[in-house]
């Protein structure tokens, strides 16, 4: 019998139908990953399955006595106590047994007069104090009573909650800390079914790796929503795609799902096209012979056409669509540090977080900064940007460097500003051009007049990205750029950055994203920054990566970041995902070049000299980008 079954589920909010007529089963030891675009109903489906949301139609049935561990994206408001108190709630039965055993022990010692005895067993025969204590002790041992405190602390540490964090009042803990505490509690309760909504959102690389290994060992069924493709590849054996109100199921992990989905979409497009041609042919016949000698045949065809089960039109690709991003040329050294100490000053006292070796970021490099939560990555970025002064040393930008900084959220935009105004505040474009530009970031039609305050997290991230790219920087510093992005938007962003002609420094816990883009790493940890001259995959395979510890490899003299240029800054080993996206980037540049060439020819015929000059410059820049990309790919 399945752990959970559902039939004909429908959920809507007012006139907005989220999904309808969904039926599904969740079996024992299931490993199900739910994917789909933001706003497609994934979280609503999870809430229905755990009885936190009543569907508008349909029903859900759970197996008798099913124990569910549910971890939402945002934990409910704190009700008091510390984070440790929240986590140890998973052991409420053990803590109750401890109280009962203490009472029984007092009775055995003759000091328990007046203590209410525990409830008698169901057969009505009361146990004497010795039997009662022995029964309680057996249950206590069976449930792991002697180890549960250590189990709790080990799991909390694996999820990034140290002793100081555990002692924090829940009401003053960060959202990330409370989410990790909720995850720890759910895992420690050992439920029959785990239901997780974006479980990796607040975990660092070490925490995600630990969670993958933990899920592989437990017998619980697991249903989870995630945009982490690397995580899905390593944890699930079935993918549910929820999109436009429909649920499609695919066997295998995320990589298998992508292959099967592409093939299913290809077949659907072919079937749809063939059916549309058939329908058009039949309708033409019906119109032609409706009143003639073949009217009876025409009516028969019309009846068959009315009964025909229509092939659903394949969905259009709604991911972000952006051509290559141009960047003006900088000096060879784009960014450098010298004798840098990163930290903060509070109450006149300086706290050092990082002693940074002298580093250089060279033109055309794509580097990722990685490390556990709390080791100083964000502080380092803020020091680079000049938001936080260094305790010692300096950060210098190279010749002609223009920085584009992408941070989590949209902190500087007024809540009552519209999406269109937010873009125009960054760069004053003609209205039509601004709306066309925003459409490439999925802000289409009347969406551009939506207020920033009413935007979802994903919409704010897309807007921040649009506002960044419209400035045409030649150094991108990206702090968790994939946060709030669904998978199609993440893939589109990857393609854009692969076609970008400038220099990139990114901070991300998205291992798929880092694996694809980064050609070198700055590993932050143990109070320093260690350059690693290779890809993320190579770092994982190395001794430091395998242990998830940012240890500094043996070196001669002062550590230095390796020189990375467009000619040699690429992974040493072939990467199929990288090859595929590189091919798409080249194809996009070739298409853009052909489009500019056609416009240039038209402008020449119209003798529009101003437009010819503008398009000529754009043609040269695009051609240079294409040549650089081809050289990088083939070299």
351: left (phi over 0), alpha (psi -120 to 50) or beta: beta
CA neighbor of 328 nearest in space, from 403, 267, 390 = 403
What is 362-395 written as a DSSP string?
ETT-EEEEE--TTSSHHHHHHHHHTSS--SEEEE
User: Distance (Å, rounded) from C-alpha 485 to C-alpha 353?
Assistant: 30
- Mean pLDDT within 428-454: 87
CB 589 within 8 A of CB 385: no
**Mind giving me the DSSP string for 539-554?**
HHHSHHHHTT--PPPP
Distance in angstroms (rounded) separating the CA atoms of residues 269 and 545: 43
Structure-block tokens of residue 568: 């040699």
What is the structure's pLDDT at 125?
53
Are 4-89+148-255 and 333-573 the same fold in CATH? yes
How many CB atoms sit inside 10 A of residue 538's CB? 16
Taking the C-alpha atoms of residue 123 and residue 411, their distance in angstroms, rounded to an integer, is 65
Measured CA to CA in angstroms, residue 263 lies from 4, 33, 167, 205 at distances of 30, 20, 52, 33
Q: What are the tokens at 267? A: 């077949």
DSSP β-bridge partners for residue 362: 333
Q: What average pLDDT score do residues 477-486 get?
A: 87
pLDDT value, residue 609 = 56
**pLDDT at res. 575:** 55
Contacts of 305 (CB under 8 A, 6+ apart): 279, 282, 283, 286
- Computed over every residue of the chain, the mean pLDDT equals 84
Query: Tokens in use for 8?
Result: 């004909």
- DSSP 8-state symbol, 336: E
pTM metric for this prediction: 0.75
Q: d(Cα 345, Cα 597) in Å, to the nearest integer?
A: 56
DSSP state of 220: S
Q: What are phi and psi of 223, to 5 degrees?
A: -125, 125
Q: How many C-beta neighbours within 10 Å does residue 340 have?
A: 22
Q: Which residue has the higher pLDDT, 498 or 247?
A: 247
The yes-or-no verdict on residue 45 having pLDDT over 90 is: yes
Q: How confident is the model at residue 79 (pLDDT cuts 50, 70, 90)?
A: confident
CB 3 within 8 A of CB 26: yes
Region 116-121: mean pLDDT is 53
Residue 413 burial class via C-beta count within 10 angstroms: exposed 0-12, middle 13-18, buried 19 and up: buried
CA 576/CA 267 separation, integer angstroms: 24
What is the number of alpha carbons within 13 Å of residue 93 lying toward its C-beta?
12
What is each CA distance from 250 to 32, 255, 268, in whole angstroms? 10, 11, 15
CATH superfamily label, 333-573: P-loop containing nucleotide triphosphate hydrolases (3.40.50.300)
Three-state DSSP string of 469-516: HCCCCCEEEEECCCCCCCHHHHHHHHHHHHCCCCEEEEECCCHHHHHH
CB–CB of 398/336 below 8 Å? yes
Closest CA to 76 of 175, 208, 190: 175
CB count, 10 Å around CB of 305? 15
Angle at CA 100, nearest 5°, toward 95 and 101?
Answer: 95
Asked if the model's pLDDT at residue 608 lies above 70, the reply is: no
Q: What residues does 392 pair with on adjacent strands? A: 341
The three-state secondary structure class of 166 is helix
d(CA 507, CA 410): 17
Every domain of the chain and the residues it spans: 4-89+148-255, 98-142, 256-307, 333-573, 581-634
Neighbours of 185 (CB within 10 A): 22
What does the DSSP assignment read for 16-42?
Answer: EEEEEEEEEEE-TT-EEEEE--TTSSH
Q: What pLDDT score was predicted for residue 82?
A: 93
Alpha-carbon dihedral angle through residues 512, 513, 518, 524, given to the nearest 10 degrees: -90
pLDDT above 70 (res 564): no
Hey, which CATH number is domain 4-89+148-255, 3.40.50.300, 3.30.360.10, 3.90.950.20, 3.40.50.460?
3.40.50.300
- In this prediction, residues 532-554 reach a mean pLDDT of 65
Cα 10 to Cα 56, 98, 245: the distances in Å are 5, 45, 9
Query: H helices of 109-246, where?
Result: 129-142, 148-158, 163-166, 175-188, 205-217, 229-235
Determine the Cα–Cα distance for residues 403 and 410; give it in Å rounded to an integer: 17
pLDDT band at 499 (very low <50, low <70, confident <90, very high): confident
Element (H or E) spanning 107, and its range?
helix 92-108
What integer pLDDT is reported at residue 456 of this predicted model? 74
Q: What is the mean pLDDT of residues 540-556?
A: 49
CA 70, chain centre distance (Å): 19
Strand partners, 406: 478
Q: Distance between CA atoms of 263 and 606, rounded to whole angstroms? A: 45
Angle value at C-alpha 402, between 566 and 335, nearest 5 degrees = 60
Q: How confident is the model at residue 496 (pLDDT cuts 50, 70, 90)?
A: confident
User: Does residue 422 have a pLDDT over 80?
Assistant: yes
Residue 414's pLDDT band, with cuts at 50, 70 and 90, is: confident
């Amino acid at each position: 019998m399945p752990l959970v079954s559902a039939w004909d589920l429908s959920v809507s909010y007012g006139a907005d139908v989220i999904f309808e007529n969904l039926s599904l089963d969740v079996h024992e030891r299931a490993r199900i990953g739910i994917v789909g675009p933001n706003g497609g109903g994934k979280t609503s489906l999870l809430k229905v399955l755990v009885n936190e949301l009543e569907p508008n139609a349909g029903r859900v049935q759970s197996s008798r006595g099913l124990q569910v561990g549910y971890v939402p994206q945002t934990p409910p408001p704190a009700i008091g106590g510390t984070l440790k108190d929240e986590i140890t709630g998973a052991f409420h039965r053990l803590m109750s047994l401890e109280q009962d055993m203490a009472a029984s022990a007092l009775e055995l010692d003759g000091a328990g007069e007046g203590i209410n005895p525990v409830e008698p067993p169901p057969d009505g025969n009361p146990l004497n104090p010795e039997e009662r204590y022995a029964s309680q002790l057996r249950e206590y041992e069976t449930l792991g009573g002697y180890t549960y405190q250590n189990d709790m602390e080990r799991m909390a540490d694996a999820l990034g909650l140290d002793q100081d964090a555990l002692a924090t009042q829940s009401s003053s803990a960060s959202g990330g800390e409370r989410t990790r505490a909720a995850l720890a509690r759910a895992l420690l309760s050992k439920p029959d079914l785990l239901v997780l909504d974006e479980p990796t959102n607040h975990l660092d690389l070490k925490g995600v790796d630990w969670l993958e290994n933990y899920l592989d060992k437990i017998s619980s069924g697991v249903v989870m929503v995630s945009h982490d493709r690397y995580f899905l590849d390593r944890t699930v054996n079935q993918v549910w795609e929820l999109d436009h109100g429909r649920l499609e199921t695919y066997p295998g992990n995320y990589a298998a799902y992508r292959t099967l989905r592409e093939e299913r979409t290809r077949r659907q497009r072919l079937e749809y096209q063939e059916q549309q041609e058939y329908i058009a042919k039949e309708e033409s016949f019906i119109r032609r012979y409706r009143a003639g000698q073949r009217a009876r045949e025409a009516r028969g065809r019309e009846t068959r056409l009315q009964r025909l089960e229509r092939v659903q039109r394949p969905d259009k690709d709604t991911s972000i669509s952006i051509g290559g991003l141009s960047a003006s040329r900088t000096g060879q050294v784009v960014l450098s540090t010298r004798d840098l100490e990163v930290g903060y000053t509070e109450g006149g006292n300086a706290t050092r977080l990082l002693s940074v070796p002298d580093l250089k970021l060279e033109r055309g490099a794509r580097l990722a900064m990685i490390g556990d939560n709390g080791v100083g990555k964000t502080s380092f970025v803020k020091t680079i940007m000049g938001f936080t002064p260094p305790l010692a040393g300096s950060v210098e930008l190279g010749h002609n460097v223009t920085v584009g900084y992408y941070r989590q959220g949209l902190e500087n935009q007024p809540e009552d500003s519209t999406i269109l105004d937010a873009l125009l505040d960054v760069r004053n474009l003609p209205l039509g051009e601004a709306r066309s530009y925003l459409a490439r970031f999925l802000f289409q039609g009347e969406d551009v007049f939506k207020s920033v305050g009413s935007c979802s997290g994903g919409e704010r991230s897309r807007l921040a990205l649009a506002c960044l790219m419209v400035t045409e920087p030649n150094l991108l510093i990206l702090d968790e750029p994939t946060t709030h992005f669904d998978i199609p938007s993440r893939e589109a962003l990857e393609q854009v950055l692969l076609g970008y002609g400038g220099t990139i420094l990114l901070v991300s816990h998205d291992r798929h994203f880092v694996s694809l883009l980064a050609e070198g790493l700055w590993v932050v940890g143990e109070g320093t920054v260690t350059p690693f001259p290779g890809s993320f995959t190579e770092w994982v395979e190395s001794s430091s990566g395998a242990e998830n510890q940012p240890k500094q490899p043996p070196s001669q003299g002062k550590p230095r970041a390796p020189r990375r240029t467009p000619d040699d800054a690429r992974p040493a080993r072939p990467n199929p995902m990288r090859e595929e996206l590189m091919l798409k980037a080249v194809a996009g540049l070739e298409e853009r070049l052909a489009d500019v060439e056609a416009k240039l020819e038209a402008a020449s015929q119209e003798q529009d000299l101003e437009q010819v000059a503008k398009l000529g410059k754009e043609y040269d820049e695009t051609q240079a980008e294409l040549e650089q990309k081809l050289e990088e790919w083939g070299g």
